[in-house]
Amino acid sequence: MEPADGEWHRLHPLTPLARSGRVVPALVLGFVISSAHTNGGKSSGQGYILIAFGVISAVVGFIHWMVTRWRIEGDTLRIETGLIRRDSRRLPLARIQAVDIFRPLLARVLGISELRIRLAGSGSTDGKLAYLAESEAIAVRGILLGQRHEPDGVTIDTPERPMATVTTGRLVGSVLLSVVSIVLIGTVGTLLVLDHFAPRAATAAAGVLAVYLFSFASVMWRRLSGQYHFEAVEAPEGLRIRRGLLQTVSETIPYGRIQAVRQVQPFLWRPLGWCRLEVDIAGATRRNQRGEGTGVVRKSLLPVGTRHDSWHMIVRLLGGPAPDRTPPPRKARLKAPLSYHFLSAGHDDTHAVCVTGRLNKETTWVPLEKCQSIRRVQGPVQRLLGLATVHVDVAGKSTHAEFRDRTVEESDHLVGRLSELSRQARRHPEPPPAGRGRPESPGVPAGWYADPSGRHAWRFWSGEHWTEHVGDGGTAGIDPPHPS
Amino acid sequence: MTSPEDQGWLHPAPALWHMRQAELGVVTVVLALLIGPIFTAAFGGVAGVISVVAVGAAGALTAWFVRRRFLAWRYQERHEDLIVARGVMVHRLSVVPYGRMQFVEVTAGPVERMFHLSTVKLHTAAAASDARIPGLAQDEAARLRDRLTELGESKAAGM
């Protein structure tokens, strides 16, 4: 069955099993605890209650599967579910910001996956299809990310270009070199030493601290298992990230959906030259947050990497070398004595970049196309020194690029120039990354670029010559670059 | 970049200044009526008179500050974006492109309604954008709302 045939589809038949399987560990735990409490004897009654719970959850799962169906109607995905309260959801394809495929451990065993669709804008919610067969999930993802159902569009394995991977050793190192782990290891070490001299005090302290230690350890474990086997690749429909130890995740972010790119160099990683990369994409607005900015989902692009890895990825994401930065004038040191060290900012025709922070050096790149508003703020101290700060706001609460403490003349100029540039960028949206770079000359890194022949949206550049691999939306095809 | 001296800047209605004066006057009088008798009872008549004078002086000082704030608030409808400038201590200038507007909010509190005024606020996807214009005459607020909505629709840009 083709996913895009406009017919109603059901979820995978194993869905009830996978859904009710999620409660099995809790049930087993409950059973163990209850039988331990009652010391055998009359535990069988409680055992029956637990079995009844299991049966009920299986029946609920089955009913959920029975009443859930989905179909693709032109350019919307429609999901209907619910027995008593019918829930019919339409997800316009044009508003999709990212598509993630989740595979929890049990679903991996059963060969099925969950599709999560992130939408932007107020009043929208994320769509979820749990569970689909693996091949079906990948096909649906291709359709959702812009692939139109052309009858002759042959879907073959799209050549993906690896961008970055994280070795297990470096991942473990990065988790250990964090504040959380240092606190954890330090506390455990102190307790061990204390245990040697004053065992009773150590036991008491351990009892008090146990909850905190456990939560710290679980934070570390989540980082480790979530980013395990991290791999970022460049696919024709977007940037794809695969990661996970027990539950694997495959996230796809269309290139034009990135609201901001952030590079963080934590204090502890700086001697090793490591950094991490994050992107912001627009997400669903929280239910209780009335119009105060669209929700933003932050995704890790590179949990830990060398500066070279990150530089390479940024060049690919921005479609060219990053804009040059200049530090603020020297007198800004009087206003910001601590943070002056890294402070710098700059922009070119399409992106603004700024560096802030003292302990953690943070670099933020913002595509001017995504700029929501531009603000100039001048406080009393800044006015005395003849300085002003220019903010470039993007969706959400957390991120924006700021040209901090520039001279008044420069800030006046920046406000005009940046609003003009962002207007132009909005009118002519960016082609996929590196669309601007003309990769005719060798030395330009391999990847997907705008097809020079104009017959397709993208063509794969091997690093030396154009290949026959082309992409239109999510469909990949074969078309020689120079037809004879 | 246009400087404040340029033509085309619009200001909140003078009624906003009257509203602020009325608010301030009521607060000052109430404070004076409360503090005066208390000080008179506790420290004698001279202290009461001094305290009332001090409250009056504080009111006058605040009035001077509010007056400057009122005069600093201005906005300009340009071809592609709306500029709002405000602030005395901290100067703020916001440029919001019409295409980025998510919705326009017009509010009028009870005091504002007595003076026939409304506040217009522009919302974008960014929480940090603050384009708020207080104290617009109600017909001007309606005109601005309609114009902004119309421009926002014609120039709307996706996320």
Q: What is the pLDDT of residue A437?
A: 40
Shortest Cα distance, chain B CAs vs residue A115, angstroms: 22
CA distance A482 to A145: 28
Contact A373 B131 (CB under 8 A): yes
CA distance A24 to A64: 18
DSSP notation for B13-80: -HHHHHHHHHHHHHHHHHHHHHHHHHHHHHH-HHHHHHHHHHHHHHHHHHHHHHHHHHHH-EEEE-SS
Helix (H, G, I), strand (E, B) or coil at A217: helix
Query: How many contacts, defined by CB atoms under 8 Å, are there between A and B?
Result: 107
| Ramachandran area for residue B116 (φ above 0: left; ψ -120 to 50: alpha; else beta) | left
Any idea what the Cα angle at residue A2 is, between residues A112 and A13, rounded to 5°?
35
Shortest Cα distance, chain A CAs vs residue B123, angstroms: 7
B127 to chain A: nearest residue by CA?
A293
DSSP notation for A25-60: HHHHHHHHHHHHHHTSSTHHHHHHHHHHHHHHHHHH
Cβ(A29)–Cβ(A50) below 8 Å: no
Q: Tell how far CA B130 is from the center of its chain.
A: 13
Q: Which residues pair with A447 in a beta bridge?
A: A461
| Ramachandran area for residue A210 (φ above 0: left; ψ -120 to 50: alpha; else beta) | alpha
Q: What is the pLDDT of residue A149?
A: 40
Q: Which residues pair with A391 in a beta bridge?
A: A375, A402
| Ramachandran area for residue B141 (φ above 0: left; ψ -120 to 50: alpha; else beta) | alpha
Surface-to-core class of residue B97, CB atoms within 10 Å of its CB (0-12 exposed, 13-18 middle, 19+ buried):
buried
Cα Rg for chain A, rounded, in angstroms?
Answer: 26
Closest Cβ opposite residue B125 in set A372, A383, A423: A372
| Mutation target among A75, A253, A294, A372 for the B interface, most CBs of B within 10 A | A372
CA distance B92 to A399: 19
Helix and strand numbers (H, E) in chain B are 4, 6
Question: Long-range contacts made by residues A128-134, C-beta under 8 angstroms, separation at least 24?
Answer: A128/A79, A129/A11, A129/A70, A129/A79, A130/A11, A130/A15, A130/A18, A130/A19, A130/A102, A131/A11, A131/A12, A131/A14, A131/A15, A131/A18, A131/A19, A131/A107, A132/A11, A132/A12, A133/A12, A134/A103
Cβ(A473)–Cβ(A148) below 8 Å: yes
Domain ranges of chain B: 14-70, 75-154
Contact B125 A282 (CB under 8 A): yes
**ipTM of this predicted complex?**
0.86
Write the CA distances from B138 to A13, B10, B108, B112, integer angstroms. 60, 15, 9, 10
CA distance B40 to A364: 60
Closest CA to A431 of A350, A348, A354: A350
A419 to chain B: nearest residue by CA?
B95
| Mutation target among A371, A375, A387, A394 for the B interface, most CBs of B within 10 A | A375
| B79 in A contact zone (CB under 8 Å) | no
Other beta carbons within 10 Å of B146: 11
Cβ(A171)–Cβ(A224) below 8 Å: yes
Q: What pTM did the predictor assign?
A: 0.79
CA distance A147 to A93: 10
CA distance A363 to A6: 45
Q: What is the pLDDT of residue A153?
A: 42
| A96 in B contact zone (CB under 8 Å) | no
CA torsion sign, A117 to A470 to A427 to A423? Answer: positive
Ranges of chain B with pLDDT below 70: 1-7, 157-159
Q: Which residue has the tokens 């990847």?
A: A447
| A426 in B contact zone (CB under 8 Å) | yes
| B13 in A contact zone (CB under 8 Å) | no
| A395-440 pLDDT, tens digit each | 877 778 889 999 999 999 999 999 999 988 887 665 544 433 444 5
Contact A372 B93 (CB under 8 A): no
Q: How far apart are the first and last CA of chain A?
A: 37
Cβ(B11)–Cβ(B74) below 8 Å: yes
Cβ(B136)–Cβ(A380) below 8 Å: no
Q: Which residue has the tokens 């104009």?
A: A454
Closest CA to A71 of A49, A50, A88: A88
Q: What is the pLDDT of residue B75?
A: 93
Q: What is the pLDDT of residue A448?
A: 65
Q: Which helix (H) or strand (E) holds A324?
A: none
| B112-153 pLDDT, tens digit each | 999 999 999 988 888 777 789 999 999 999 999 999 888 888
Q: Which residues pair with B101 in a beta bridge?
A: B124
pLDDT in tens, chain A (484 residues): 577 777 899 999 988 888 877 777 777 777 777 777 665 555 566 678 778 887 888 888 889 898 999 998 878 888 988 888 888 888 888 888 889 999 998 899 999 999 998 887 655 567 888 889 988 898 888 888 865 444 444 444 456 778 888 999 999 999 999 888 999 999 999 999 988 888 888 888 888 888 888 999 999 999 999 999 999 988 877 889 999 999 999 999 887 788 889 999 999 998 999 999 998 888 765 544 444 556 777 888 899 998 888 888 888 787 777 788 999 999 999 988 888 999 999 998 888 999 998 889 999 999 888 888 999 999 999 999 999 999 999 887 777 888 999 999 999 999 999 999 998 888 766 554 443 344 455 555 566 666 767 677 667 776 667 777 776 654 566 777 765 3
Contact A294 B100 (CB under 8 A): no
Residue A228 φ then ψ, to 5°:
-60, 140
A294 to chain B: nearest residue by CA?
B125
| A377 in B contact zone (CB under 8 Å) | yes
